[in-house]
Amino acid sequence: MTETATHCPYCAFQCAMTLSPAPAGSPEPLTVDGRDFPTNRGGLCKKGWTSGALLGETDRLTAPLFRTADGGFEEVEWDVALDRIAEAVRQSREEHGPDSVGIFGGGGLTNEKAYQLGKFARLALGTSRIDYNGRFCMSSAAAAANRSFGVDRGLPFPVEDLDAATTVLILGSNMADTMPPFLSHLQGARAAGGLIVVDPRRSSTARLTDDGAGLHLQPAPGTDLELLLGLLHIVIAERLVDETFIAERTTGYAALRRSVAAWWPERVQSVTGVPTDLLRRVARRLASRGGTYILTGRGVEQHVNGTDTATAAINLALVLGLPGSTDSGYGTMTGQGNGQGGREHGQKCDQLPGYRKIVDPAAREHVARVWGVDPAIIPGPGLPAVEMLASLGREGGVRTLFVHGANVVISAPNAGEVRDALTRLDLLVVSDFFLSETARYADIVLPVLQWAEEEGTMTNLEGRVVRRRKAIDPPAGARSELWILAELARRLEAPGRYDLDPALVFDELARASEGGIADYSGLSHELLDTEVAAYWPFPVGSTGTPRLFLDRFGHADGRARLVPVRATAHPERPTEPGQLTLITGRLLEHYQSGSQTRRVAELADSQPELRAEIHPTTARDRGLADGELITVENHRGTVVARVTTSTGIRPETIFLPFHFADDASANLLTSDATDPISAMPEFKTAIVTVHAIGAVAPLETVGASV
């Protein structure tokens, strides 16, 4: 092995790194160093620095597994496993129809695998039932951007543009823990006293506003939409709007102005708890011309009104004239490693490659031509993730399910129901490199490659396509998902071509995306190997598009839409004394469901168990002490956690990270009610009660099993 330039296996910041041979005697096969790149500038977070440890884990899957009669697993040969899967698919389609077979994908898959998975679903399985875990983290922001701008790209500008910002409003994102190297781009705003963080919890990011660096707004959980409506009201009432921009580049201003007329500051304070003087300070700061950015994250989007909340943030940015400027803008913080690319090329139930709508006849014709099939055989739209999971094993629902790159028994809302649903399936096939919590429910587990063992591409939060490169050989027995899909397609006598070489798959993806919103047609592995700044759209003959909206927005008339939205009630509110509102989120040391990071000793030792963050007053009123074990429960489930008291959280709330397993899985408590536009679940405002289990307990890992 020589040095290999690649990118981190974790979040959408996609930090650049260099992989090198490990010293003799090292338990890890390689060493990891940060690499200079415009995003991370050589920096990595704890997760990135320790990512090589996963490649040497002893519980790596290296052979297909079959469920045995006693509930365990036995190893089988690949041909046996694939023949059994193909037989089950044929039987399910014959008995229950093609939509009885489904695929649940992941936002961590490479573009090549995400593309091939969507193609495999539509052609080899003939099913419309495909969706992915990006539905849990990006769908509301995407829906809002599409209806307002006509285009959904996380950051429609290079992250380096933030370096010159003097004001940055961050709503519902804790990037200090989720992507720490991002913070280097906020130093200008902090130095100017213009970092403004909206979060009901005093997160690591909120603490960056201390010592005159900015402001922390701490609204009541679930009131972000009302807060934004109030800021819009002030901006309009005080004539802080950019009238020229509104007139020349937007439509719908008159209706928007009427829609926020009732949200005067005193009313907003009564709903959110944010003082009126603070609301006015923020509105006026945002309106200071030049160097102003608004960024949203999952905290304001993972609600049943998440699309409307993200839309309100866009409306605020538009009336201030921020999008399309060279020194200001609006963006949303994509979370998963390939959350952007994963939704562009066919994993979403309603989309075809290039971010094309599956119901668009022209889109179907174009993609069918690339695939070499009749457009009529491509199924129509399927079911979004929550609805598809609810259908598992039921009449008319999915009976055979493939899971790729997801751990739904931890990451899905109302996870207890999901666990029950998996047991109703005729067949569950999980592709993973470890025996994840979801894989433990599987009938067949297929061992696949890890990040440093494969070639491919990822698309980061800026819409920049980057190369993932192979650094080491995989263990004997593990296979690429491209190979698995090709072998199954052959057994199912599927139409279309299923290449094994990721470069060839990318070339087909590029052709399929040509002319679409997310046009990759001018890109190739060869070009990306030159480290070109590959921002999509990147049509043939172009040099890419680092900054969208400079001249026009994505709608046919080139104008952005100002879309009036209204505040609506959340599905749950406290109704009895002692009830708390649950806030879920991330820790610095862990990633997503924790299936990977809980296996890294350095990370697990730092955060070994589920801890419930509660205000000291809340703990005192319930007779709880720091370090005490408690149950957190509602009608959906019960979790066990250890108390940590903090004055940085609102007294009526409780915070749980969602990285832990078994009876420490926070999503046992969360609601599967969804946004009517995006189908995003309501992760953030479940109502719970807490109860002491006993005296302060000795340190034992709570929910950290892997």
* CATH code where residue 622 lies: 2.40.40.20
Predicted pLDDT at 702: 66
Predicted pLDDT at 574: 85
Q: C-alpha angle 139/126/371, rounded to 5°? A: 85
Quick one: pLDDT band at residue 698, thresholds 50, 70, 90? Answer: low
Is the confidence at residue 700, as pLDDT, over 80?
no
Closest CA to 316 of 271, 342, 279, 266: 279
For residue 384, being part of any structural domain is answered with yes
Using the 3D structure, point to which of 286, 309, 332 is the last residue of a domain. 332
Same domain, 312 and 367: no
Q: C-alpha angle 178/181/185, rounded to 5°? A: 115
Predicted pLDDT at 26: 81
Same domain, 109 and 162: no
For residue 126, being part of any structural domain is answered with yes
Q: Report the pLDDT averaged over residues 455-482.
A: 97
**Range of 677's domain?**
580-696
* CATH code where residue 215 lies: 3.40.228.10
Is the confidence at residue 558, as pLDDT, over 80?
yes
Q: Report the pLDDT averaged over residues 459-484.
A: 96
Quick one: pLDDT band at residue 427, thresholds 50, 70, 90? Answer: very high
Q: Report the pLDDT averaged over residues 92-114.
A: 97
For residue 568, being part of any structural domain is answered with no
Distance CA(206)–CA(507), nearest Å, equals: 43
Distance CA(393)–CA(478), nearest Å, equals: 29
Condensed to tens digits (0 to 9), the pLDDT of residues 486-498 reads 999 999 999 999 9
Q: Report the pLDDT averaged over residues 178-200.
A: 97
How far the first Cα of the chain sits from its last, in Å, is: 30
Same domain, 350 and 472: yes
Same domain, 405 and 491: yes
Q: Report the pLDDT averaged over residues 281-307.
A: 94
Same domain, 326 and 226: yes
Same domain, 451 and 488: yes
Same domain, 106 and 159: no
Beta strands in 110-159 (DSSP E): 130-132
Same domain, 387 and 305: no
Q: Report the pLDDT averaged over residues 320-329.
A: 95
Same domain, 404 and 310: no
Same domain, 494 and 408: yes
Closest CA to 216 of 225, 204, 228: 204
For residue 317, being part of any structural domain is answered with yes
Three-state DSSP class for residue 411: helix
Is the confidence at residue 570, as pLDDT, over 90?
no
Same domain, 154 and 201: yes
Predicted pLDDT at 166: 97
Predicted pLDDT at 695: 53
Is the confidence at residue 106, as pLDDT, over 70?
yes
Condensed to tens digits (0 to 9), the pLDDT of residues 649-688 reads 999 999 999 999 999 999 999 999 999 999 999 999 999 9
For residue 188, being part of any structural domain is answered with yes
Q: Number of helices and strands (H, E) in the chain?
A: 23, 27
Percent pLDDT > 90 in the chain is 93
Taking phi over 0 as left and psi of -120 to 50 as alpha, with beta for the rest, 544 belongs to left
Name residues whose C-beta falls within 8 Å of residue 84's C-beta, 6 or more positions apart in sequence.
66, 444
Q: C-alpha dihedral over 212, 218, 224, 226, to 10 degrees?
A: -100
- Give helix 502-513 / helix 111-119 axis angle, nearest 10°: 70
Predicted pLDDT at 703: 65
Condensed to tens digits (0 to 9), the pLDDT of residues 117-147 reads 999 999 999 999 999 999 998 899 999 999 9
Q: Report the pLDDT averaged over residues 346-363.
A: 96
Q: What rounded mean pLDDT belongs to the chain?
A: 95
- Looking at the structure of the chain, the number of domains it has is 4
Count of other CB atoms within 10 angstroms of residue 7: 24
Distance CA(344)–CA(417), nearest Å, equals: 29
* CATH code where residue 52 lies: 2.20.25.90
Query: Regarding beta strands 580-585 and 686-696, do their DSSP bridges make them parallel or antiparallel, or are they unpaired?
Result: antiparallel
Distance CA(50)–CA(45), nearest Å, equals: 9
Q: Report the pLDDT averaged over residues 102-116.
A: 97
Using the 3D structure, point to which of 284, 299, 332 is the last residue of a domain. 332
Quick one: pLDDT band at residue 210, thresholds 50, 70, 90? Answer: very high
For residue 205, being part of any structural domain is answered with yes
Is the confidence at residue 642, as pLDDT, over 60?
yes
For residue 191, being part of any structural domain is answered with yes
Query: Regarding beta strands 653-657 and 580-585, do their DSSP bridges make them parallel or antiparallel, or are they unpaired?
Result: parallel
Q: Report the pLDDT averaged over residues 240-253.
A: 98
Same domain, 380 and 495: yes
For residue 547, being part of any structural domain is answered with no
Predicted pLDDT at 571: 81
Q: C-alpha angle 615/619/621, rounded to 5°? A: 115
Contact present, 655 and 639 (Cβ < 8 Å): no
Predicted pLDDT at 229: 98
- Going across the sheet that includes 167-171, the strands are 214-217, 195-198, 167-171, 292-296, 329-332
Q: Which two tokens stand for residue 289?
A: 């011309």
Three-state DSSP class for residue 320: coil
Predicted pLDDT at 57: 86
Question: Dihedral sign, CA of 222, 228, 231, 233?
Answer: negative
Name residues whose C-beta falls within 8 Å of residue 580's C-beta, 6 or more positions apart in sequence.
574, 614, 618, 652, 653, 654, 687, 688, 689, 690
